[in-house]
Structure 1
Amino acid sequence: MPDNLSRRGFLGLAAGGVAATALTGCGFAPPSSSSSSNNSLTFRWWGGDARNKAYQAALQLFTKKTGISVTTQYSGYDGYFDKLNTEFAGGNPPDIFQMDTALVSTYAAKGVLTDLSAYIPGTIHLDTLYPAVRAAGTVDGKPYGVPSGSGYAPVLYDKTVLDQLKITPPSDGWTWDDFATVTAEISKALGSGKYGALDSSFDDSGALQPWLRQRGKDLYTATGEIGFGVDELAEWFTYWAGLRRSGAVTPPDLLANAGEASGTHPLIAGQIVMTTGWGLAQMQPLTQHTLDIVVVPRGKDGKTGQALSGGVLLCIPAKSRNPDGAAKLIDLFVSDADAIKDMGIQRGFPPSDKALNILMPSLNAADKRDVTYGQYVAQQVAKEGLPAAPTAPPGYQDVKTALDAAAKQIAFGKLSIADGVSQFFTTAKSALASAK
C-alpha cells in the first residue's frame, strides 16, 4: 500500500531507508556508486518476499541472456518513493524502477520519465498485452510505463480461521451491511484483542473507490479534480466509525504493520481475519492457513464498482544511464516465457493471452484461484458497464496522504468526522492545484 510523497514537493529531499543488494550468489554485480554502462543496470522495486524472489530469478535469467548485470535495490512500500525522490533530486536515479500506476502522471508531469515511444514496438513488444491493460502507463498519449498485469479490489480472508469458528465465509453477492455483520460476529467469536477486519477507512483504491463507484462517483474526475463530495466522505467515515465502536474492525494502533506483505501484517499475525488491499499471491506464501478472496462488498444495487488496474508499471528515468538496457529488461518481463514463469502473478494477473497460457498450467492452487477470480471480476465489470476509472492526476499521492491522515486522526479521536472531512478537502484541493 502506498506511502507518502514528501509534502515539501515531489522532488523534495526526504528520508527513507531502502535495502540495496547485489544478489552475488545469483551472478549479479555488487552494489556500486559507479555509473551504469551498457553492461550494467540498477533496478529498484518494492514488494514482499515472494515478489523479491520472483524478480531475482527473472533478473538472473536476464543477465544470462544479455550479459547485462543488475544491481538491485528493493524495500517495502513505506519510504520507497521518499528514497526514489531523493535520488531524482540528486540526479542519480536508478536506470529502471517499479512505479505505482496511480503515480505515473505525477512523475510524467515533472519531466523525469523517458517517453518509451522510441522503444515500442522495436524493443518493447507492448502490442502483445491486452488493449485495456496496455494504456495503463500512458499519459497525454505517450507511454511512460509498461504495465505488468491487471488487478482489482478484493477482500482477502483467512478461511482456516472462519472454518474453525464455524462462520460461513462471505459470498460474492455480499453487501456493506453484510460486511458489518460478519466482522462483528468474527470479533465476538475471537475474543479480546482480535478483530473481524482491518479498518480500511484510509484505503482509497482498495476500498473507497469501489464504494464510490457503486454510488456513481469516483476518486477523481476526468479533468483531475476530486470526484466525490463532503456527503460521500462523511458517510464513508461514519460507516467505519460504527465498525470501530462495535469492535468489528481494528483500533488504529494496529494499522502500523498493515502496509507490507510480511509476517507482521495483522492478517498473518492472527490479529484479524479480513483485509482489503492484498491478494492471495502476496499473502498466501506467508502462512500455513488457507486464505481466500472475495470481491469488496457490493452496493445496494448489486454493482461491484470495481475499476480494473494495470498492476504495477516499469519506468525508465529520463536520466537513466542505460535506457537501452532498461528497455530490454522491460521487454523480458513482457515477452520472455521463462521470465513470465518466474514472475508468476506477483505483479498482477496475466496481462496477455501469452502470459495466461504460459502461467495457468504451472500455477499453484492459490494462484490459480487468484487468476480465475480476477477473470470473474473482469466479467462483472463488463456487465456493469461502468466507465473506466479516470487516471489519477498529478498530486494524487498528496491526496492519498490527506485521506490517510484524516481517517487515522478520526480513528484516534483527534478529529471529529466533520473536521476530518473538512481537513481532507482543504488539503486535497490544495495539493491538486499546486501540482498543475
Structure 2
Amino acid sequence: MKRMMTALAVVLACGTGAAAAADLRMSWWGGDSRHAATQAALKACGEKHGHTIQPEFTGWSGHQEKVATQLAGGTEADIMQINWPWLPLFSLEGDGFADLKAFADIIDLSQWSKAQLDSATVNGRLNGLPVSTTGRVFFFNKATFDKAGLPLPSDWGELIAAAAVFKEKLGEDYYPFDAQGGDGLGAILNVSLVTTQMTGKDLVDPETNTVAWTPEELQKGIEFNQNLAEKGVIRGWKTVAAGGNVSLFELPAWSEGKIAGSYEWDSTYKKFNDPIAEGSLVPVDILTVDGAVTQGVYRKPSMLFSISRNSENPRAAAQIVNCLLNEPEGINALGDTRGIPASRIAAQTLAESGAIDPNLLQAHKIVMEAEGPTVSPFNEHPDVREIFADTLEAVAYGQISAAEAAQEIVDGVNDVLAGF
C-alpha cells in the first residue's frame, strides 16, 4: 500500500508541474566567487527539488568556443549560462535553445518585465532568462563639481557648459566627462546614445536586420561627439592615445577628480568608485540632447540562463532555473555574484538584506526606469564594433569627414548584418 501511495504521489506531482528526480549538468563561466556561490546554489536547489546537478565551469577565456563545440555536437549541458550577444550566433532562428515559455507552469516568468523577456526572445521563442539586467548610466564625481561651484548636470547642455567653468576655476587639465578610449568603445557608445536619442531608433532595425539610422542621422551623432572633444568636455582621441590608452578607472586623473564623469555599466559602479580619492560617484538620470525623442537607455541582459533543446529532463532543468533565480535557496546562495538580479523577487530579497550598495541600487533603478528602443545584440558584434572604432578614429585624426564616416559605418555594418 505504501508503494502504491508513493507511486500515486509521483504521478500527481508530475501532473502539477513537478519533475521526476533527474541527473542534470550546468555550465557557466566566471571567477572563484561565482564558482563557489553557484555550486552552493546548485546543491541547495538540487536537494530541494530532488535532482543532482553536475557543475561545469571555466573562466571567460575560451568559454564561447567550448559552448559552440558542444552545441554543434549536441553535448551541451542541460542548463547553460549564455552571453546575450551570442544569441545571433547560436540561435539565429530562435530554435537554438529550449523555449522557456513551454515551462511557464514551473518558472515564474512574471518576475521579469516584458522588455526583459523580449530581449531574450528570438522569433517568439524565449531562449533564456536574464540573470541580471545591466545598462549604461552617467556617474559624476560630486566633489569635483562642488569645487567648480556647479550642480551635477541634468542634460547635455549643462554638461557642455561645465567644461568652460572647469577650465577656468580648476585648470586646463580638468574635464567634466570622458567618452573616449583606445578601443573606441567610449566614443562608440556616446555616438550611439546621442543618435538613438535623436531618432528614437536602435542601430539595428529588428524587422529588416539592417541599419535603422540614415547616414545623415548618424552624421549628427558623430559631429556631436566631435564637438564634445573640441569644447574640452572630454579628452580628444589623440590625448587618450598619447597617454597609453590606460583604462579610465586606472588613471590618476580619475582618482584625483580631474576627470569628473563617465558613462558606464551600472554594475561597474564599485570598480569606478573605489579609486576616487575624495568623495564618491553619484549616478544621475540619463542626459538627453535637445529635441530628444527618447532617453535611449542602453539596457541589456548581462547574461542568460538557458535550457538545452536536447535536454532529456527539461522540466527538471526548469525547476532548477526557477530555484536559482526566484526561490530563496538559490537567491541567497548566488547573492550578487552576477550583478543585481533581473528577477524582481531576487533583487528585492537582496536589497532588503542590505547586500547591495545604495548607489549601485540607485544606478540600477535609473537604468530600469529609463526608456528607449530594444537594443539589438548586433550592437556588440565584434565586426560591428571594429567598423565603428576604426572609422571614428579616422574622424578624430582628420582623415575623413563625419559625413564620410557615417556612410562607411552604415555600409560596413549592413555588410555584417547581411551575413545573418
Q: Quote how far apart the aligned CAs of 1:137 are.
A: 0.9
Q: Quote how far apart the aligned CAs of 1:433 are.
A: 1.2
Task: Check conservation: 1:280, 1:291, Cα contact below 8 A.
Answer: no
User: CA separation in 2, counterparts of 1:81 and 1:410?
Assistant: 33
Q: Counterpart in 2 of 1:228? A: 213
Indicate whether 1:351 and 2:335 are aligned.
Answer: no
Task: Give the alignment's Cα RMSD to 1 decimal.
Answer: 4.3
Indicate whether 1:400 and 2:385 are aligned.
Answer: yes
Q: Which runs of 5+ in 2 are unaligned?
A: 1-21, 47-51
Q: Quote how far apart the aligned CAs of 1:195 are.
A: 7.3
Q: Which aligned pairs between 1:14-413 and structure 2 lie closer than 5 A?
A: 38=23, 40-45=25-30, 53=33, 56-66=36-46, 67-75=52-60, 81=64, 96-109=79-92, 113-117=96-100, 120-163=103-146, 165-171=147-153, 173-175=154-156, 177-183=157-163, 185-186=165-166, 189=170, 192=173, 196-199=177-180, 202-203=185-186, 206-218=189-201, 219-223=203-207, 224-250=209-235, 251=237, 252-253=240-241, 256=245, 258=247, 267=254, 272-279=259-266, 282-284=269-271, 287=274, 289=276, 290-301=280-291, 304-307=294-297, 309-312=299-302, 313-316=304-307, 327=318, 329-341=320-332, 343=334, 347=338, 349-363=340-354, 367-372=357-362, 374-375=364-365, 379=369, 381=371, 388-389=373-374, 391-392=376-377, 396-413=381-398
Q: Quote how far apart the aligned CAs of 1:63 are.
A: 2.8
The amino acid across from 2:270 in the alignment is M
Give the 3 Å change call, closer, same or farther, for CA 280–157 of structure 1 in structure 2.
farther
- Bigger mean CA deviation after superposition, 106-115 or 422-431: 106-115
- Bigger mean CA deviation after superposition, 197-206 or 149-158: 197-206
Give the 3 Å change call, closer, same or farther, for CA 334–174 of structure 1 in structure 2.
same
SS in 2 for 1:332: helix
Q: Quote how far apart the aligned CAs of 1:133 are.
A: 2.2
User: CA separation in 2, counterparts of 1:234 and 1:245?
Assistant: 16
User: CA separation in 2, counterparts of 1:217 and 1:111?
Assistant: 26
User: CA separation in 2, counterparts of 1:330 and 1:272?
Assistant: 42
The amino acid across from 2:219 in the alignment is A
Q: Which aligned pairs between 1:424-435 and structure 2 lie closer than 5 A?
A: 424-435=409-420
Q: Quote how far apart the aligned CAs of 1:185 are.
A: 4.6
The amino acid across from 2:322 in the alignment is D
Q: Quote how far apart the aligned CAs of 1:199 are.
A: 2.0
Q: Quote how far apart the aligned CAs of 1:286 are.
A: 6.1
User: CA separation in 2, counterparts of 1:257 and 1:132?
Assistant: 35
SS in 2 for 1:41: strand
Give the 3 Å change call, closer, same or farther, for CA 379–39 of structure 1 in structure 2.
closer
SS in 1 for 2:384: helix
User: CA separation in 1, counterparts of 2:256 and 2:59?
Assistant: 23
Give the 3 Å change call, closer, same or farther, for CA 268–152 of structure 1 in structure 2.
same
Q: Quote how far apart the aligned CAs of 1:267 are.
A: 4.8
In the superposition, the TM-score normalised over structure 2's length comes to 0.71
Give the 3 Å change call, closer, same or farther, for CA 182–338 of structure 1 in structure 2.
farther
User: 1:163-182, CA deviations, whole angstroms, 9 ceiling, x for partnerless residues?
Assistant: 4x4453524x322x322333
User: 1:215-239, CA deviations, whole angstroms, 9 ceiling, x for partnerless residues?
Assistant: 2341222412211111222222222
Q: Quote how far apart the aligned CAs of 1:284 are.
A: 5.0
Task: Check conservation: 1:136, 1:309, Cα contact below 8 A.
Answer: no
Q: Quote how far apart the aligned CAs of 1:138 are.
A: 0.8
Question: How many aligned residue pairs are there?
Answer: 381
Q: Quote how far apart the aligned CAs of 1:136 are.
A: 2.3
User: CA separation in 2, counterparts of 1:330 and 1:204?
Assistant: 37
Task: Check conservation: 2:135, 2:266, Cα contact below 8 A.
Answer: no
User: 1:139-188, CA deviations, whole angstroms, 9 ceiling, x for partnerless residues?
Assistant: 1111111112444431123334444x4453524x322x322333465467
User: CA separation in 1, counterparts of 2:215 and 2:244?
Assistant: 25
User: CA separation in 1, counterparts of 2:219 and 2:270?
Assistant: 32
User: CA separation in 2, counterparts of 1:156 and 1:234?
Assistant: 26
User: CA separation in 1, counterparts of 2:100 and 2:245?
Assistant: 40
User: CA separation in 2, counterparts of 1:275 and 1:86?
Assistant: 38
User: CA separation in 2, counterparts of 1:281 and 1:341?
Assistant: 21
**Based on CA coordinates, which of the two structures has the bigger radius of gyration?**
2
Give the 3 Å change call, closer, same or farther, for CA 291–145 of structure 1 in structure 2.
same
Task: Check conservation: 1:150, 1:349, Cα contact below 8 A.
Answer: yes
Q: Quote how far apart the aligned CAs of 1:59 are.
A: 3.2
The amino acid across from 2:42 in the alignment is F
User: CA separation in 2, counterparts of 1:256 and 1:422?
Assistant: 27
User: CA separation in 1, counterparts of 2:187 and 2:89?
Assistant: 17
User: CA separation in 1, counterparts of 2:308 and 2:292?
Assistant: 43
User: CA separation in 1, counterparts of 2:97 and 2:376?
Assistant: 19
The amino acid across from 1:59 in the alignment is Q
Q: Quote how far apart the aligned CAs of 1:243 are.
A: 2.7
Q: Quote how far apart the aligned CAs of 1:288 are.
A: 5.5
Q: Quote how far apart the aligned CAs of 1:406 are.
A: 1.8
In the superposition, the TM-score normalised over structure 1's length comes to 0.69
Give the 3 Å change call, closer, same or farther, for CA 380–314 of structure 1 in structure 2.
closer
- Bigger mean CA deviation after superposition, 238-247 or 313-322: 313-322
